[in-house]
Structure 1
Amino acid sequence: MAKSNGENPRKTDIKVSLIGGHRLAGATLHERTVTTSLIGGADVDLTDIDIPDGTELRITKLSLIGGVSLKVRRDVRVEVHGLRLGGVKDDGPSEPGGPTVRIDAWGLVGGVSVTRA
């Protein structure tokens, strides 16, 4: 995760496509990422980065059709918000504290699936 410094706080990455999803790796993300597509999901792998305790990494997914597939370490807390016709699959920790990844998923069809490594 590329942390923002004091000169550019909370940098937001924006990814846009009409058809086709986005593959996002942790080392290239900032604290905020927005991925938008008409049709296509987001495949996000955060297993190779160290998210400091108390830090919140936010990913916003906007699409008509397409969900989010998220891979994180076992100690990362995941919060899912938004409106979509699809469920959330996550059996991870829900205790407060530690690093947090917040997924805001907005769309008609597509769920959020969290895999822990």
Structure 2
Amino acid sequence: MTKPSADQTQKTDIKISLIGGHRLDGATLHERTLTVSLVGGADVDLTDVEIPDGAELRITKLSLIGGVSLKVRPDVRVEVRGLRLGGVRDTGPTEPGGPTVRIDAWGLVGGVSVHRP
């Protein structure tokens, strides 16, 4: 992933399924990803992705049932927004700056878990 300049348009990946979740990694993601499922979560592994300082990678998850399991490097800040029944588990950096992954999780049931090596 590279930090887009002001005149570049950001690419958006869209993943849709009725039943079943999505497995996403650095090779399958662009700056923005939308994953939609009726029942199923998203398993996202970004441990091998170089996110430049100040850049933001954005993942939007829409589902009735299903959460997000996110794996990132220890220096990546994670912001979680949205509405869902289920908490957020993250013990990573909270200060602004550095690389950021933003998760917009919208659903009825499902939390967001952040794992760091």
Query: 1:49 maps to what in 2?
Result: 49
Which whole-Å CA distance do the structure 2 matches of 1:49 and 1:30 have between them? 11
Unaligned stretches of 5+ in structure 1? none
Query: 1:77 maps to what in 2?
Result: 77
Which whole-Å CA distance do the structure 1 matches of 2:96 and 2:102 have between them? 13
- Which digits, 9 at most, give the CA deviation of each residue in 1:10-68, with x for residues without a partner? 11000000000000011221000000000000000000111000000000000000000
Query: 1:106 maps to what in 2?
Result: 106
Query: 2:32 maps to what in 1?
Result: 32
2:56 counterpart letter in structure 1: E
How many matched pairs? 117
Which whole-Å CA distance do the structure 2 matches of 1:47 and 1:65 have between them? 25
Give the structure-2-normalised TM-score.
0.94
Partner of 1:27, secondary structure, is helix
- Which digits, 9 at most, give the CA deviation of each residue in 1:51-102, with x for residues without a partner? 0000000000000000000000000000000000000000000011000000
Partner of 2:85, secondary structure, is coil
CA-atom RMSD, angstroms?
1.6
> Would the aligned equivalents of 2:3 and 2:52 in 1 still touch at CA under 8 Å?
no
Which whole-Å CA distance do the structure 2 matches of 1:53 and 1:5 have between them? 13
1:94 counterpart letter in structure 2: T
- Larger deviation: 53-62 or 27-36? 27-36
Q: Percent identity?
A: 80
2:54 counterpart letter in structure 1: G
> Would the aligned equivalents of 1:3 and 1:30 in 2 still touch at CA under 8 Å?
no
